[in-house]
Structures are given as C-alpha cells and as structure tokens.
Amino acid sequence: MNIINTKQLFKKYGSVPVVKGIDLTVKKGEIFGFLGRNGAGKSTFINMLTGIIHPSAGSFSLFGMTGPTDEVKRRIGVMPDYSSFESSLTAMGYLRFLSELSGNKASKEKCLSVLKKVGLEGEAHKKTGKFSFGMKKKLGIAQAIIHDPELIFLDEPTSGMDAESVIQIHQLIRELNSEGKTVFMTSHNLDEVEKLCTRIAIMKDGQIAKIGSMDELRSYYQSTILVKIKHGEIPTSEVNQLTEWLLQSGEGLEMKEKHVIISVNHEKRIAEMIRAFNQCKVDIYRVEVEEASLEEIFLDEQTGHSIRKVM
Amino acid sequence: MFAISKREFLRLMKGIKSIIIIAILLITAYFSAKFSSLLLTLDEFTASEADIIHTAGFLVLLLFFGQLFVMGLSHDVMNREMHDRTIRFLVTRTSRLSIVLGKFLGVSLFWFTCVAVSFLIVFFFSHSFDWLSFLQLMSLLIFQIALTILLSVLIPKPGFTMFLGVIVGLASPILGFWLTLTNNPWVSWLKFATPYYYLEEDYTFPIILVLAAVLLAVAHLVFQRREC
C-alpha cells in the first residue's frame, strides 16, 4: 500500500524552481531516506507534503487522501528541519499541548515515556528556553511521535546530536519501524541513511537523480566489489591456471605474497574465485569484501567523481 | 482549536504586560465606580447618562485606548509564531482555520474575563449591571481583536506590528469617532465601516460583530495562502 504518492510535485520561489516535478511513492512500513546537498530541495519537499508550504504545481496524496487534510494531519508526525519552541513552556507542557492539538491529549506517563525514548528523561519539567540545540532536536522528535502517528517525517533528525544520542535515535527509528510505522527522513549523514533506510532517493537540482534500495543503487552505478583474499602457498604448477581463472572473474588483479586483491562486479564472482582456489588446492585463510558505500554512490551522483567503478 | 485558544488565554494571563493592563482596567473600574456619585454632583446628566455613570471612566478608557491595549498585548499573536517557526508545529497538526479561530477565541476570552470582572466591580458599587454597555464594549473589543489578528497575519515582522500597533491603537478611535461625527460627504460614508458608528443606544452593535467576522475571514484567507 502506498502511503505517499506524489505526481509532478513542483515548487518555485519567485522565478527560482526548487523542486522540479517529483514523482515518488513510499510504501507502508518503509524507512525512506532522502539525500541531497544543501539547497537540493529535500526540506521543501517535506514541507509541501506536511502542509507547511503549498506546491506551485503537481499533486500528492497521503494515505490515499489528496493534500494534508485534518485526518491526514492526525495520522502524521512531523519534525521540521528547524525546531524552535515557545521558551516559556516545559517539555512536558509542550508535548501535552501538541498532542491535544492532534486530538488525543497524552497523559503525563505517556509524555515521560516518549521523553525517555529520545533521551530527555529528567528534563520533562525544564523550560524549553533552557534547552541546548541537541535537546531541542530530541524534543522535536518527541513531539513528532507523541500522538502515535502512522507516518513520521523527520528532517535531519540527528544533526547536532552527540554520538550517544545518535545511536539512541537510530534505535528509536528502528523500533518505530518495527511497530509498523513508516518513516520518511532526510539526512546529511550518509552512514545513517545507509544503516537505517530500506529505500533511498538521491536529490540533485530539485529532482530525484536516483532511487532504490542500497543494492539497487549499487547496481545503478555498476559499483564494484573489492575482494581481498589471504591464501596459503600456491603450487608452482597451478599459478598460471589460478591466475587465468581469477582474471576471468574480475579485473585489476594484484597478487602479492599470499594475498590476492581483485575487483568483481557481482558477488557470484567471489564464489567462482573460491572454487578456483579450491581446485588449485590452495588454502584460503581470510576473505575481505568491500562494497561501494552510500557515500561513494552519493559523491558519484553529485560530482561525477567515482572512487571505484567498473571500467 | 480549543487547545490553541486555551494556550493563548493562559499566555495572556501570565504575561507581565497583561498584568499591568488588567491592573489599569480594574483600578479604573474601581475608582470610577467609587467616585461616580461625586461626578453626579459636579454636572447635570440625563437619566440615561446617570445610569451608566458608574462605568463611565472604564468605558472612556476602553473606547479610546482599547485598540492600543489589544494591539499592545496581541500584535504578534500570529506573526511571532511564523517568525519563530513554532507555527510549523501547529499547521502540521490542525487546519489553518482552527489556528486563526483558536487565537481569536483565546484573546477574546481574555478580554471577556477582564471586562466582566471590571463590570462586576462596578456592579458592587452601583448594584446594577449595564448589559448594553457590556455587550457594546465586548463587540468593540471583538472587532479590535479581529483587526489585530488580521494585521498580525498581513505583516510578517513582529517588530513592525508593535510599532504599527501604537499608531493604529491611537489613530483608530480618533479616526473612528471623527468619521462617525463628520458631515464631510467625501468621507462620511466610511463611518459604516467603523465600529464606533454602531455604539449608539439603538442596538445596532451586532453589526460590529459582522465587521469583525469580515476581518477574520480576510485574515483566514491570507493565512491560508501563507508559507510557514
């Protein structure tokens, strides 16, 4: 079931187009990651879907309903890119007020439980004016989930947080997803997106340049798998045969003392190489595999400078 | 909507500016009621004037400075949220109409409470409750609140609405009463658009509520199109 469906969604400020006709579907239960440079249009896209700004053209539906209707708003949770809170309210007061606005005022126990989940236990009665940037980010996440929404929009949820908090928020996102909630997030932390997201879209100049799972993105970019094999003694009679087989499996072969380094374009080739070693009666002690990271794919898309690519 | 109005009401009640204005209103109501009998001895009043003499000081205060007080307290009722981007937490949860109406109800409830308490103080001295003055005054304040909300939606900068609030607050009663009383045919027709024209004892004050509704409708239309 598609939870988000956009058709040629377009946004311009004055005469400057920021989002240039995006077609996108997000299915229930996904953790969808949106990547792109600053100004690529990620936040503008989320802001259109959540009713913060209006599209210049195109249409979208959430839960099959066109536009952010009141019912849709009750079913979504939004953490905007800029979390600013009324400084005179406490964290607890804010959560209770916003949950009431969503139609279901949260109990004090529920607020405390959500604050604990985001790492703000003990801060419930502190005024938000005294919160640090990271704490405001956490409260931004807390308010987005306080009313148990089915679809959660998180705009750079972990930026400005310390490492321990980032791990805690990652755990929370996985937990929310395991409860059946759909998460749509943007991030500059490529490692975070790679670890968390089931599907990823890379935005460039207001358009989706590439979309898919990590495996699909790797295949789009024909990215290579770098294989390092530590092996035992190769019988002199088998050296030529083994070299020939290895060259059939991949390229860039380097054979150093009891080490082989080779690039392959599919994991099936790794199995072929291991078979070749076995047939040549060469012991294998260690196999290391390095795939293209999202960072490499992202850089490749944004700059065209590939770190590793099949020639 | 009610969550927003409750928050707005409580925020106004807690603010230092509100406390000062409440104090001015209550002190004026108390002393004008207390010394109204003294006023009766100083001049000749008609029977109907004598009836409302207890509320006179309080009425004059709000007729001439009501807009200033309302704008002083609530000039940034909408644009502060947009400026600080706290509005994003609201627009992603409820309709924009609910936000405008919620703010309007909250501010109105605050002024209703202030005026009602002031009239009760007067009632303590006069032993009569002047319903017509009360309803007329509330209608006027409702119009002024709607105008304040409209300006706060139209002008995105809170600093500018604060400045404008002082100008509008001082100019609007002067302009309103002048338009009501002037015979100049070029501008006298504008009196129908000012609330002051409907403060006669002819029960036309509900028209002020219609004017307020028009202002609120415009505020909603503008806010509906606004990017937050």
Count of structural domains, chain A: 2
A94 contacts A141 by C-beta, under 8 angstroms: no
pLDDT (average), residues B207-217: 97
The span from the CA of B120 to the CA of B134, in Å, is: 11
At A311 the pLDDT is 35
Q: Measured between alpha carbons, how far is A100 from B55 in angstroms, rounded to an integer? A: 40
Is the domain of A177 the same as that of A268?
no
**Closest among A265, A292, A257, A286 to A274, alpha carbons compared:** A286
The beta-carbon contacts of B25-28 under 8 Å, at least 24 apart in sequence, are B25/B58, B25/B61, B25/B62, B25/B114, B25/B115, B25/B118, B26/B114, B26/B117, B26/B118, B26/B121, B28/B57, B28/B58, B28/B61, B28/B118
Interface test with B, best of A49, A53, A73, A84 (most B CBs within 10 A): A84
Q: Distance (Å) from the C-alpha of residue A149 to the closest C-alpha of chain B?
A: 11
A119 with A229, same domain: the answer is no
Q: What is the pLDDT of residues A102-156, one digit of tens each?
A: 988 999 999 999 999 999 999 999 999 999 999 999 999 999 999 999 999 999 9
Residue A84 pLDDT:
83
* Mean of the per-residue pLDDT values of chain B: 90
Question: Which residues in chain B touch residue A74, judged by CB atoms under 8 angstroms apart?
Answer: 93
Terminal Cα-to-Cα distance of chain A (whole angstroms): 39
Return the pLDDT at A106. Answer: 93
Domain boundaries of chain B, sorted by first residue: 2-225
Instruction: Show which of A187, A212, A237 is a domain's final residue.
Output: A212
Which residue among B85, B86, B93 places its CB closest to the CB of A102?
B93
Q: Which segments of chain A have a pLDDT < 50?
A: 307, 309-311
Q: Does A128 touch chain B (CB under 8 A)?
A: no
pLDDT of residue A224: 76
Q: What are B37-60's pLDDT values in tens digits?
A: 777 677 677 766 666 777 788 888
pLDDT at residue number B50: 66
Domain co-membership, A33 together with A57: yes
Domain co-membership, A46 together with A170 = yes
* Helix axes of A163-178 and A133-145: crossing angle, nearest 10 degrees: 10
Check B85 against A80: CB less than 8 A apart: yes
A16 CB within 8 Å of a chain B CB:
no
State the nearest Cα–Cα gap between B88 and chain A, in angstroms. Answer: 6
Is B93's CB within 8 Å of A50's CB? no
Predicted pLDDT of residue B38: 73
Q: Are A69 and A208 in a shared domain?
A: yes
Q: Looking at the structure, tell me whether residues A199 and A169 fall in a common domain.
A: yes
Identify whether residues A168 and A255 lie together within a single domain: no
Boundary residue ending a domain (A212, A245, A265): A212
Tell if the CB–CB gap between B86 and A54 is shorter than 8 Å: no
Query: Locate tokens 């896209």: which residue?
Result: A45
- Is residue A65 domain-shared with residue A173, that is, in the same domain? yes
Q: Do A83 and A150 belong to one domain?
A: yes
If asked whether residues A285 and A201 sit together in one domain, one would say: no
In which domain, by residue range, is A285 found? Answer: 224-290
Q: In this structure, what DSSP letter does residue A90 have?
A: B
Please tell me whether residues A13 and A88 are part of one structural domain: yes
Give the sheet arrangement for strand A182-186, strand by strand: A76-79, A151-155, A182-186, A31-36, A199-204, A207-212
* Shared domain check, A78 and A6: yes
Please work out, in degrees rounded to the nearest 5, the angle formed at the alpha carbon of residue A141 by the alpha carbons of B222 and B78: 20
Verify whether the Cβ–Cβ distance B92 to A73 is below 8 Å: yes
Q: Is residue A219 part of a domain?
A: no
What type of residue is B209?
Answer: L
- pLDDT for position A310: 39
CB A258 within 8 A of CB A221: no
CB contact under 8 A, B95 and A70: yes
| DSSP label of A291 | P
Domain boundary, last residue among A192, A212, A232 = A212
Which one has a higher pLDDT value, B53 or B228?
A: B228
